[in-house]
Amino acid sequence: MSETDFPEQTPEQALLIQRVQRMMQIAGATTALAIAALLIAIGYRLFTSEGSSATNDVTATLPGLRWLAVALTRRSVRASMARLAAFCATSP
């Protein structure tokens, strides 16, 4: 393989490369900080949830729409029961 000879950098090019490297370091540090914050938030939610279910969380955050949660739950139970009945009817 042949080696490519690069010309010497001008001071303006060196300054530009230095700025780009600095911006890349800032972007990497910001990304690492965001990932760390996300993992801390997820860990906090996992270790402090005392057996609460997702339905209770939705009901608590959407006051006045409890009837919707109940209706959706009833519909999913009815659909599951219908699938179970159909399965039992087809199996020997």
Number of structural domains (the chain) is: 2
Residue 4 lies inside a defined structural domain of this protein: no
User: Taking the CB of residue 69, how many other CB atoms lie within 10 A of it?
Assistant: 14
- Could you tell me if 87 and 58 lie in one domain? yes
- Could you tell me if 59 and 30 lie in one domain? no
Q: Given the structure tokens 């760390």, which residue do they identify?
A: 36
* Residue 88 confidence (pLDDT): 85
- Could you tell me if 16 and 33 lie in one domain? yes
Residue 3 lies inside a defined structural domain of this protein: no
Tell me which residue range forms the domain holding 32. Answer: 9-48
- Could you tell me if 62 and 32 lie in one domain? no
* Residue 64 confidence (pLDDT): 65
Query: Quick one: CA dihedral 75, 78, 83, 84, positive or negative?
Result: positive
* Residue 3 confidence (pLDDT): 79
Q: If you average pLDDT over residues 16-27, what whole number do you get?
A: 96
* Residue 10 confidence (pLDDT): 93
pLDDT digits (tens, 9 = 90+) for 30-79: 999 999 999 999 888 888 866 555 545 544 555 666 667 777 788 888 88
